[in-house]
Amino acid sequence: MAESTKEATEEGAKVTTVAEGTDATAAPPAEPAKIVLTVFESLCEGKTLDDAKAAWAHVAEASAKTPGMHRFQSSWNEETQTAYVTEIFDNAECYQAFIGSLDLPMVTSTIKFDQVTLQCASHQVAAFGDMIANFGMKVYLTDGCAGGGGIL
């Protein structure tokens, strides 16, 4: 009997197979669960939609350059003057690298993070540390829920 696990790394992925005996085979490992962060945003006083679009372009470019970041998507509701942003990534470490690559003063002087939701497995929460409080993240655990963080 053998079992394989797969872990996302900056270089790609690391697969570990543990076997009992010399002739064991293992099924392919499950893909690591992705983490989803969603944000309801509004404009800071005196800022325009064009200012927000410039900030989102900066964030999207940083996301595209950060290993482990899979998606940054912003959308705008003209009626409510609010945005909805979705980010999908591998782990807290890549998210911290992503945040570290941003011009945060530019972003936070343009956009207010009104509601931030983090969806991840319970074993992934601790790695976010102070980011949960600093960004006011509300955490939803994916443990045992349908989908479990996999991307379809």
Which top CATH class is 33-141? Answer: alpha beta
pLDDT-wise least confident of 64-73, 106-115, 122-131, 143-152? 143-152
Encoded tokens for 31: 């893909």
Average pLDDT estimate for 127-146: 89
pLDDT at 12 > cutoff 70:
no
Band (152; pLDDT cuts 50, 70, 90): very low
Band (33; pLDDT cuts 50, 70, 90): confident
Which pLDDT tens digit goes with each residue over 88-117? Answer: 999 999 999 999 999 999 999 999 999 999
Please tell me the distance from the alpha carbon of residue 26 to that of residue 35, in angstroms, as a whole number: 26
Which pLDDT tens digit goes with each residue over 40-56? Answer: 999 999 999 999 999 99
pLDDT at 23 > cutoff 90:
no
Q: What percent of the chain has pLDDT over 90?
A: 68
pLDDT at 76 > cutoff 90:
yes
Band (19; pLDDT cuts 50, 70, 90): confident
Burial-class residue 52 by CB neighbours within 10 Å (0-12, 13-18, 19+).
buried
At residue 29, the pLDDT reads: 64
Say if CB 82 and CB 113 are below 8 A apart.
Answer: no
Residue 41, CA distances (Å) to 6, 80, 84, 152 in order: 34, 11, 6, 26
**Domain range annotation of the chain:** 1-30, 33-141
